[in-house]
Amino acid sequence: MSQPILAVSRRTRRTPLSPRVEAHGVKGYTVYNHMLLATAFRSFEEDYRHLKRHVQVWDVVCERQVEIAGPDAGRLVQFMTPRDMGGVAVGQCAYAPFVDENGGMINDPVVLKLADDRFWVSVADSDVVLWSKGLARGMGLDVSVFEPEVGPLAVQGPRADDLAARVFGEDVRAIRFFRFARLPFQGRELVVARSGWSKQGGFEIYIDDADNGLALYDALFAAGADLDVRPGCPNLIERIEGGLLSYGNDMTIGNDPFECALDRYCHLDADTDFIGRAALEAIRDAGGPGRAVRGVTFEGETCPACVEAWPVAAGGAHAGYLTSAARSPDLGVNIGLAMIERDRWEPGTAVTVETPEGARAGAVTGLPFIEPRPRSVQASSASSKG
Ligand code: THG
């Protein structure tokens, strides 16, 4: 890789776990929520193979929490999302698109309901704390909005349950998908959720203290030596295979949630007040979006890095653009996520992808490319309201 060096300073905030990430020889960083996020430890491919077979510990503290607390907390959270938050229980995590007045994607956070009047919004890479504060002040709400020093340490991979049980006890296995429990670790009660940005299963433990976070990191490595536990990070190849969209890459404020295939989190028939309602209803009433995210497979023995959107054409005409790409070792083909025009989005449509290394023949596919590992503990999702 001949990438320029990323200069690190106080603005590119380190995390409490950065010393361990660096001791393990992190190979690359990106910046996410103005904070460091590892991109690879050995290589994308080696990390990918390990993630799909074993268990990894990820510093994803950059998935910052925006805390919304007070009498109007529920009203403010509901105002930011088309998802009906009415049925979300305390102890539940809810993946919720946040939209602006045009229906444009502000963020796609996981919302944790800590109490009826207290939420953590676990944000993707945009400044939700500023948006939330602005709305709260503008609406005159009785709520406090701030970024506590809290962020997730993720344990991901097929052996995540076994590793977490060694540190937190067997209770951890009973946590259902997108639910959280408070479990003790060295004198603190930590929020432990069954969630994470991979399709290999696992947990996210919300660390709220630097020393305790480092102790947890070390305890996981000590407990998992025979499981070949390794440091990891969200993996480009695995997340494309699984169809996980990255905010800022595969969707921006210029996209609405229907384009992002987040329809199942848009409950327009619910009796809720949210800022983008009129805009999303207009899109629905017009028959849905004019383009939407799809998979694309394309030829080539290797795949260049997608650092700018690549044009996608079909029959010589513009068909959309591709936003993330990687070679999938398990599928033996190049795969990508692309925003494809409605008249070309049918799976099987032949396309041409304009990569920086030349045009490559390909085809539109559905998503995900690979179904997730079956969950050991089944649970609620957006379709069930409890
Ligand atoms: N964990 C936490 N915070 C986060 C992320 C995370 N904030 C930023 C970013 N990731 C938010 N984006 C996503 C996208 C998808 C999922 C989680 C966060 C996800 N989706 C489930 C799936 O696709 O299978 C569906 C969840 C559901 O249906 O309820 O896991 O990873 N803390």
Structural domain boundaries of the chain? 18-64+149-240, 65-146, 290-369
> Which residue owns the Cα nearest ligand 1 atom 24?
199
- In angstroms, how far apart are the furthest CA atoms of the chain? 64
Please state, in angstroms and as integers, the Cα–Cα distance from residue 232 to each residue in 7, 157, 164, 226, 343, following that order. Answer: 22, 10, 16, 17, 39
d(C-alpha 318, C-alpha 174), whole Å? 49
Instruction: Note the pLDDT of residue 271.
Output: 98
Q: What is the whole-number distance in angstroms between the Cα of residue 196 and the centre of ligand 1?
A: 6
Which residue owns the Cα nearest ligand 1 atom 19? 197
At 375 the pLDDT is 74
CA dihedral 158, 159, 165, 170 (to 10 degrees): 60
Which atom of ligand 1 approaches the CA of 234 most closely? Answer: 31
Give, using CA atoms, the residue closest to atom 31 of ligand 1: 197
Q: Which residues does a 6 A CB cutoff place in the pocket of ligand 1?
A: 63, 95, 108-110, 122-124, 152, 178, 195-197, 204, 244, 381-382
Residue 316 is which amino acid?
G
Output the CA torsion sign for 70, 74, 79, 81: positive
| Angstrom distance (rounded) from CA 323 to CA 338 | 6
d(CA 356, ligand 1 centre) in Å:
31
Structure tokens at 184: 């003790």
Are 134 and 80 in contact by the 8 Å Cβ rule? The answer is no
pLDDT tens digits, residue range 64-102? 999 999 999 999 999 999 999 999 999 999 999 999 999
User: How far away, in angstroms, is 361 Cα from ligand 1 center?
Assistant: 32
Tell me the CA–centroid distance for residue 8 and ligand 1, in Å: 27
pLDDT at position 381 is 43
Residue nearest to atom 11 of ligand 1 (CA): 109
In degrees, to the nearest 5, what angle opens at C-alpha 208 toward C-alphas 204 and 212? 90
Ligand 1 center from residue 109 Cα (angstroms): 7
CA distance 292 to 323: 12
Q: Give me ligand 1 centre to Cα 220, in Å.
A: 22
| Positions in the chain short of pLDDT 70 | 1-2, 376-386
Strand intervals (E) in 177-306: 180-185, 188-193, 202-207, 230-232, 291-298
The answer to whether domain 290-369 has CATH 1.10.3470.10 is no
> What residue spans of the chain are helical by DSSP H?
18-23, 44-53, 73-79, 128-139, 160-168, 210-223, 236-241, 277-285
Give the CATH superfamily of 65-146.
Aminomethyltransferase beta-barrel domains (3.30.70.1400)
Look at ligand 1, atom 32, and give the residue with the nearest C-alpha. 122
pLDDT for position 384: 36
- In the prediction, which pLDDT does 137 show? 98
For atom 8 of ligand 1, the residue with the nearest CA is: 124
Residue of 55, 58, 54 whose CA lies nearest to 39:
58
- Taking the centre of ligand 1 as the mean of its atom positions, its distance from the CA of residue 123, in whole angstroms, is 10
Distance CA 182, CA 66 (A): 19
Q: Which CATH class is domain 18-64+149-240?
A: alpha beta
Closest residue by Cα to residue 321 from 335, 331, 334, 336: 336
Residue nearest to atom 16 of ligand 1 (CA): 197
Which atom of ligand 1 is nearest the CA belonging to 380?
29
> In the prediction, which pLDDT does 380 show?
40
Confidence (pLDDT) at 374: 80
Q: Mark 37-50 as b/e (b = at least 16 C-beta within 10 Å).
A: bbbbbeebbebbbb
Q: How many other C-beta atoms can be found within 10 angstroms of the C-beta atom of residue 381?
A: 12
Cα-to-centroid distance, 312 and ligand 1 (Å) = 27
111: CA distance to ligand 1 center in Å?
A: 9
